[in-house]
Chains A and B, each alone.
Chain A
Amino acid sequence: MLSRVAESIYWMSRYMERAENVARFIAVNLNLNLDMPGAGEQQWLPLVITTGDHEAFAKQYKTATKQNVIRFLTFDRENPNSIMSCVRSARENARAVRESISSEMWEHINRFYLMLRESGAESAAFEESYDFFDQIRFSGQQFMGITDATMTHGEGWHFCRLARLIERADKTSRILDVKYFILLPSPADVGTPFDDIQWSALLRSASALEMYRQRHGRLEPASVVQFLVLDREFPRAVLYCLTKANESLHAISGSAIGGFVNKPEQQLGQLRAELAYTSSQQIIERGLHEFVDDLQKRLNSVGEGISDTFFAMRTIDVAIQRQSPVTQSQFQLAT
C-alpha cells in the first residue's frame, strides 16, 4: 500500500474516532448538568482542559460558558479538534484515498460532513443537544460498522483499526480525567450521591455504564478505573484498545506478537505489557491524573513512531543499496 494512502487512512480513522469522542465529552457534561443543577457554568471549563486545547480556547473566548464551550468543541473551524474540523479532516483524507476505501465508507463520511454543514445544525446542537450529540456518536459508530463490513481486512483496514484504537485509548483516558478536574477528589465527597452521579455520567459517556454494572455492580472509584483502564474485554477500555492495536500493528509488519521489528511495535508492546501487569490500586496510589498524563505522552510517541516507520518519505537509494542487481520488483525499507 502506498505510504501516502496508509497515512491518509490512518488520519481519516483517527479523526472520525476523535469526532465521536468529543461528542462523548460533551455528553458527560450534559448528563451532569441535568443531574446537578447547582453545578452551573464552572463545570464546562474542565472539558476544554481535558481535551488539551484550553490555550486555543482562551485566545478566542472570554468565559467558559456552556454556549462557548459547545461552540468551540463542536463547530469552531479555528479549533482543529472541534467535531466539525475533525469530520472535515476525515473527509479530506477519505477523499484523497477514495479509491482505496469502500464507497460506502466515503459516502458515510461525506453525508456526515454535509449533515454538520446544514444550516440548522448549530441551533440543533443547543436546542436538541441530546439528539444532536447522540447522532454524532451514532455516525461514528456506523462508520466503524461500515468499515468492518465493507473493507477488506488487509493492510488498509489494519491501519484504520490501529488509528481508531490509539485514538480511543487516549480519549478514554481523558474522559477519566474529566472526573479529576470536575471535582478534585475531596475525600469528603467520596461515596456521596454526587460522587455516584458523576461516576455514572462519566461511565455513560463512555457507553460503559451497563457493562460496568454487569462487571462490578457498585460504583467505586477503583472499580471504575479497573473497568475503563484495565478491562480486557470492554472495547473502550485502554488495555483492550492497546492489545488490539498491537495486533494490527503486527499484522501490518507481519511480525510475531511478543517481539518487535520496528520502533512503534517496541513502544506499544512495552506500554501494553506494563498495563497488563498493573492494578487499579497502583494507578490510584500513583495518582490518576499523573497516570493518565503519562499514558497520553506515550501514546503520542507511539503515533510518532508509526508515522516515522510507515509514512516517512525516504529516498530510494538507501533502500536499494543492498539489493543489486535489480531483479526483484519489491524492496524492503532500510529501517
Chain B
Amino acid sequence: MFDAERKPRAHYRALYDRFWQLRTDELERRQMAAERSMRRLGITFSVYGDQEGSERIIPFDICPRIIPEAEWKFLERGLKQRIIALNKFIDDIYHKQSIVRDGVIPEFVVRSCATLRQQCMGLDPPMGIWCHITGVDLVRDREGQFFVLEDNLRCPSGVSYVLQNRQLIKQTFPQIFEQAHVLPVDDYCSRLLDALQAQMQHRVRQPHVVLLTPGSFNSAYFEHSYLAQQMGIPLVEGRDLVVHDSYVYMRTTRGFERVDVIYRRIDDDFLDPQAFRADSMLGVPGLMQAYREGHVALANAPGAGIADDKVVYAYVPEIIRYYLDEEPILPNVETFVCWDETQRNHVLANLDKMVVKPANESGGYGMLIGPRSTKEEQATFAELIKAKPRNYIAQPTLNLSRVPVLTENGMEGRHVDLRPFVIYGKEIYVLPGGLTRVALRKGSLVVNSSQGGGSKDTWVMSDRPAPAPVPASVTAVS
C-alpha cells in the first residue's frame, strides 16, 4: 500500500483518506460486526480432531487490498497464458509425452510424480480440458513484481471466501465501496456452472451437474455447500452416487437419476476405490470407468495434479516456451530442484537463507523456513534432502510485500499472498481479485488458514465507473 517513502501509493489514496478519517475504535467496531456476521452465517472451516469448537471463522480483515485495473490486466494475461500451457502439458503427459521425448523435462521427473495417474493414460476429457478450476498462488516482492508460487490444479479452495468477503465489505463500508469502482466478482458461480455444463453439452442438452464433497467433516465443507447452493445444484457425497453399466446415478426419493457432470472436491486418491485407493469410503466404485467411457465429466480431471508437483513447477517457464513459443508473462519464484547435484549442493550450503518445500504437500506443511529455523532443524532437513533429493525444492526467501491490517495496535503491515481463480470452460475467465490471505502474526510469512492466517477482500479498481445498466423500459410505480 505504501511506497518506499511511506506515502500511500496513488491507487490507495482515496481509500486511505477515508480510512484515516475513521477512528481506530470505530474500525474495531466494524471489524467485530463483520466477524459476528460471519459466525452467524456459519462462514466457517472445520478444524480436525476438535469436538465442540470444531468450526472456526477465518479471521477477516476489513481493510481491502487494492490492485489497479491496469496491473490486473497484466496478471490476467499471465494467468491465461500459464493455464493454457499447463493444460497442454497435462494432455501431452497422458498421451505422447513429446515434451519428455524432446528433452525439455527429464523423464524421471515425470515418472516420479506422486500425482501422476497411470489410470489416466490415453484419456481424452471433454473439450480437451483437464484443469477447469485453478487457484494460482501469487506473491509479490518489495518492488511490486508478481511471482507465481504454486499452481493448485487439484481442488483449490477459497473462492467462497472471496465471494463472502465481498458481501461483508459491502455491508461494512457501503459508502466507500459505492465510490470505488470495484470490478464485480458476483458472477463467479454462474460462470462456473456454465463451464461445468459445457463439458457435456455435446451429449445432453441440459447436463445434470452435481458437486461431490467428502462430507461435512471436511475442512472446506462450507465452501462445498456454498458453491452448490449458489449454483443450485445438488451437493452429493460418495454414498449418494452409484455406477450402473458405466453410467452414474444419484439416489433420490423417487429413484435413481442420471448425473452428467461432477464438480468433485475429493482428491484423485479417494475418487473411486476400484481405480485408486481401495480402502477409500468417500468415493464411488466404478466412477473412473464411467468417466473413461465418456458418460460423465469430472472437474478437475483426474491426473491434472501432475502439474502441482513442485519439481514440475520449476519447469513451467520451459513448459510455456515449449507449447506456446512465448516468453512467460509471470515469472516463477527462483527455484532449485534438489535432484540436480549442483543445485542440491547450493541448497545444502544455503539452508539458512532458503525455504525448503516437499514436492507434494499442500497447506504449508513440512516446510523449512531457513531464516527462522534452528541449526537442528536445518540438519534434519539436510538429511531429508540427501535421502530423497527428488522430493524437495528450495527457494530463496522473498522480501514479500506487506499490506495494512487492523491489529490490536491499530493498522500494521502484514505479509500477504494472492490466489486468483481461473475457470477454463468454453473460454478462460479470471475472477478479478481473488483471495488475499494475510499472515496475522507479526513478521510471519505463513498465510494458510490451517495455520492461523486470515483473509481480506481484494479490489480490482477501475479508474472509471462501470456503465450503469439502462433498463429497457421502466414502468412507473403508481
Interface positions of B from 238 to 274, Cβ below 8 Å from A: 239-240, 242, 244-245, 247, 249-258
CB contacts (< 8 Å) of A92 on chain B: these are 216
CB contacts (< 8 Å) of A184 on chain B: these are none
A319 to B250, CA, bound (A): 12
Interface positions of B from 453 to 478, Cβ below 8 Å from A: none
CB contacts (< 8 Å) of B251 on chain A: these are 2-4, 313-314
Chain B 29-46 interface mask (CB, 8 Å, partner A; 1/0): 000000000011110000
Interface positions of A from 91 to 118, Cβ below 8 Å from B: 92, 95-100, 103, 106-107, 110-111, 114
Q: Are A114 and B40 in contact, CB atoms less than 8 angstroms apart?
A: yes
Partner of B39, one of A2, A114, A317, A332: A114
Chain A 245-264 interface mask (CB, 8 Å, partner B; 1/0): 00000001000000000000
CB contacts (< 8 Å) of A317 on chain B: these are 244
**Is A36 positioned at the interface, with any CB of B under 8 Å from its CB?**
no
Q: Are A319 and B256 in contact, CB atoms less than 8 angstroms apart?
A: yes
**Is B391 positioned at the interface, with any CB of A under 8 Å from its CB?**
no
Interface positions of A from 156 to 191, Cβ below 8 Å from B: none
Interface positions of A from 45 to 77, Cβ below 8 Å from B: none
A326 to B250, CA, bound (A): 15
Chain B 206-240 interface mask (CB, 8 Å, partner A; 1/0): 00100000001000010001101100011111011
Partner of B256, one of A97, A103, A310, A331: A331
Partner of B216, one of A1, A5, A96, A252: A96
Q: Are A107 and B40 in contact, CB atoms less than 8 angstroms apart?
A: yes
Q: Are A107 and B41 in contact, CB atoms less than 8 angstroms apart?
A: yes
CB contacts (< 8 Å) of A314 on chain B: these are 251
**Is A6 positioned at the interface, with any CB of B under 8 Å from its CB?**
yes
In the complex with contacts A95-B42, A99-B235, A107-B42, A333-B229 CB distance below 8 A: no
Q: Are B249 and A316 in contact, CB atoms less than 8 angstroms apart?
A: yes
Q: Are B208 and A329 in contact, CB atoms less than 8 angstroms apart?
A: yes
A52 to B304, CA, bound (A): 55
Q: Are B229 and A98 in contact, CB atoms less than 8 angstroms apart?
A: yes
In the complex with contacts A3-B252, A98-B225, A326-B42 CB distance below 8 A: no
**Is A320 positioned at the interface, with any CB of B under 8 Å from its CB?**
yes
- Which of B40, B235, B247 has the most chain A CB atoms closer than 10 A to its own CB? B235
CB contacts (< 8 Å) of A320 on chain B: these are 244, 256
Q: Are A319 and B255 in contact, CB atoms less than 8 angstroms apart?
A: yes
CB contacts (< 8 Å) of B249 on chain A: these are 316, 331
Shortest distance from the beta carbon of A18 to any chain B beta carbon, whole Å: 21
CB contacts (< 8 Å) of A100 on chain B: these are 229, 234-235
**Is A123 positioned at the interface, with any CB of B under 8 Å from its CB?**
no
In the complex with contacts A99-B229, A329-B258, A3-B253 CB distance below 8 A: yes
CB contacts (< 8 Å) of A134 on chain B: these are none
**Is A155 positioned at the interface, with any CB of B under 8 Å from its CB?**
yes
**Is A330 positioned at the interface, with any CB of B under 8 Å from its CB?**
yes
CB contacts (< 8 Å) of B41 on chain A: these are 103, 107, 110
CB contacts (< 8 Å) of B234 on chain A: these are 2, 5, 99-100
Q: Are B256 and A330 in contact, CB atoms less than 8 angstroms apart?
A: yes
Q: Are B228 and A330 in contact, CB atoms less than 8 angstroms apart?
A: no
A313 to B249, CA, bound (A): 13
Partner of A330, one of B42, B237, B244, B258: B258
Q: Are A331 and B255 in contact, CB atoms less than 8 angstroms apart?
A: yes
Q: Are B256 and A99 in contact, CB atoms less than 8 angstroms apart?
A: no
For A113, give the chain B residue with the smallest CB separation.
Answer: B42
Partner of A3, one of B40, B235, B240: B240
In the complex with contacts A1-B252, A1-B253, A333-B254, A111-B40 CB distance below 8 A: yes
CB contacts (< 8 Å) of A315 on chain B: these are 242
Partner of B240, one of A2, A110, A111: A2
Chain A 229-255 interface mask (CB, 8 Å, partner B; 1/0): 000000000000000000000001000
For B257, give the chain A residue with the smallest CB separation.
Answer: A330
- Which of B40, B242, B247, B256 has the most chain A CB atoms closer than 10 A to its own CB? B256
A4 to B216, CA, bound (A): 13
CB contacts (< 8 Å) of A110 on chain B: these are 40-42
Q: Are B229 and A4 in contact, CB atoms less than 8 angstroms apart?
A: no
Shortest distance from the beta carbon of B381 to any chain A beta carbon, whole Å: 40
A316 to B243, CA, bound (A): 8
For A5, give the chain B residue with the smallest CB separation.
Answer: B234
Chain A 1-39 interface mask (CB, 8 Å, partner B; 1/0): 111111000000000000000000000000000000000
In the complex with contacts A98-B229, A107-B40, A111-B40, A330-B255 CB distance below 8 A: yes
Q: Are B257 and A329 in contact, CB atoms less than 8 angstroms apart?
A: yes
For A156, give the chain B residue with the smallest CB separation.
Answer: B253
Partner of A326, one of B225, B245, B253, B254: B245
Q: A2-B236, A114-B39, A316-B256 are in contact. List 15 more A-B contacts (CB 8 A).
A: A1-B254, A2-B234, A2-B250, A2-B253, A95-B225, A96-B216, A98-B226, A98-B229, A99-B235, A103-B41, A110-B40, A311-B253, A330-B255, A331-B256, A333-B255
Residues of B within 8 A of A (CB): 39-42, 208, 216, 221, 225-226, 228-229, 233-237, 239-240, 242, 244-245, 247, 249-258
Residues of A within 8 A of B (CB): 1-6, 92, 95-100, 103, 106-107, 110-111, 114, 155, 252, 310-311, 313-317, 319-320, 326, 329-333
Q: Write 17 A-B pairs (CB below 8 A) sorted by A numbering.
A: A1-B252, A1-B254, A98-B42, A98-B235, A99-B225, A99-B228, A99-B235, A100-B234, A107-B40, A110-B42, A114-B39, A114-B40, A316-B244, A319-B256, A330-B257, A331-B256, A333-B254
Shortest Cβ-Cβ A-B pairs, 4 listed? A99-B229, A329-B258, A99-B228, A98-B225
